[in-house]
Amino acid sequence: MLNPDKIFELKRILQSPKKVVIIPHKNPDGDAIGSTLGLSQILKKLGHDVQIISPNDFPKFLKWMPEAKKIFNADFNPKGAEIGIAQADVLFMLDFNEPSRADQLEDLINNSSAYKVLIDHHQFPQEFDFTYSNTEMPATCEMVWHFAEAMNWTDLVDADIATCLYTGIITDTGNFKFASVKPSTLETAAQLIRHGAEPYKILDYLDTFSESRLKLLSRFLDNIQVFPEYRTALFTMSRDELLENGYQKGDTEGFVNYGLGLEDIVFSVFMADDTQKDMVKISFRSKGNFDCSEVAREHFNGGGHVNASGGRSDKSIEDTVKEFVNLLPNYAEKLENTTI
Ligand code: 5GP
Ligand code: MN
């Protein structure tokens, strides 16, 4: 929650121009990119020297976003990221709960002497100098708006900033579809539209598919395995399948949600090989009171939210599937009793 004493402390720190670094989580999504871009443009207007440093690249379907091209990719230039973070006076961490989610930037964050600010909606946040965590919030972008309200910055929100924040709200709520949406989410969206966000245009950008994404969707749907007794849908995609269809980063984003569209399914899981490393990336989505983050945390080295989580496995995709299918009986009762 926003603490007035901390707001006062941060306002004092930001009274004079500072070197600010803003970090999203690894494999940043629309909310991570939207919140970092929105906040960075506000801070630039206040006269700060701001750099967004992302642990790695982000999907092509987000590259249209205002100032997206200015995001520094630590994967391309690790030394530059190291210098930038070491020199920062203030470090913002957006849309993740602990430094390990920033992958190779973890040690740089921990070793930095900057004033550290966390703004995030994931479970189990680590405490920093300034921690604004609210797991009830559907998107970090909504939190950045509330943070801007608390800092008296909303007058600085122009059409570009509003566009960035609106985009993150859209992508993290499935266009206002998920259970996490609150009255404040729609109120924030309305404010962002007043400040210049154009929902129709933003959705058009987000919904423009590459050919590879459509081909991959077809393969993805073909690969479905349904476990009706466990109200679960499982999808897989091997490295060969990804590469054969011309996979580009971000192409399979959101696919896992299709599983929840099946009648009586409350748990949808997507396992995809990494195209470079021997690792399987897993996405979990659930409905109602089935907490998919528990499965991610306890068995797949991950976490996230009650209804949307992620994790990974170092086994082959075949063995990961076996492991998962063997786990399902442990969750039988919870899955059977899930209410929406
Ligand atoms: P996605 O399935 O879209 O990759 O991730 C869904 C949610 O789970 C996001 O909020 C994301 O931040 C979180 N998440 C994804 N992968 C991981 C992971 O490896 N570890 C943790 N702790 N959270 C993850
Ligand atoms: Mn988010």
Question: Longest C-alpha distance within the chain, in Å?
Answer: 61
φ, ψ for residue 71, nearest 5 deg: -70, 130
Residue of 309, 312, 314 to mutate, ligand 1, most atoms within 8 A of C-beta: 309
Q: Are 266 and 260 in contact (CB under 8 A)?
A: yes
Strand-by-strand arrangement of the 49-54 sheet:
72-73, 49-54, 19-24, 90-94, 115-120, 130-133
Residue of 86, 42, 37, 39 whose CA lies nearest to 62: 37
Q: Which ligand is nearest to the CA of 169?
A: 2
C-alpha to C-alpha distance for 12 and 118, rounded to whole angstroms: 17
262 CA to centre of ligand 2 in angstroms: 25
Q: How far is the CA of 37 from the centre of ligand 2 (A)?
A: 14
Two domains, one topology: 4-206 and 211-336: no
pTM: predicted TM-score of the whole model, two decimal places: 0.94
Closest CA to 129 of 138, 121, 119: 119
Which ligand lies nearest to the CA atom of residue 308 in the structure?
1
At residue 52, the pLDDT reads 98
* Closest CA to ligand 1's atom 22: 303
Structure tokens at 275: 């195209």
pLDDT at 16: 98
Q: Where are the domains of the chain?
A: 4-206, 211-336
Ligand 1 atom at minimum distance from 25 CA: 12
**pLDDT < 70 regions, the chain:** none
Helix (H) or strand (E) holding 234: strand 232-237
ipTM of predicted assembly, 2 dp: 0.97
User: By CB neighbour count within 10 A (0-12 exposed, 13-18 middle, 19+ buried), where does 149 fall?
Assistant: middle
The HSE-up count of residue 44 (CA atoms within 13 Å, CB side) is 16
CA distance 280 to 195: 41
Of how many residues is the chain composed? 340
DSSP letters spanning 239-252: HHHHHHTT--TTTT
pLDDT of amino acid 208 = 86
Domain 211-336 belongs in CATH node 3.10.310.30: yes
pLDDT confidence of residue 1: 83
Q: Specify the pLDDT at position 58.
A: 96
Say if residue 201 is exposed, middle or buried (CB neighbours under 10 Å; 0-12, 13-18, 19+): exposed
CA of 329 to the centre of ligand 2 (A): 30
Residues in the ligand 1 pocket, defined by CB under 6 Å: 25, 29, 101, 283, 302-305, 308-312
Ligand 1 atom nearest the C-alpha of 302 is 20
Relative to the CA of 297, which ligand 1 atom is closest?
Answer: 22
- Per CATH, is 4-206 categorized as 3.30.499.10? no
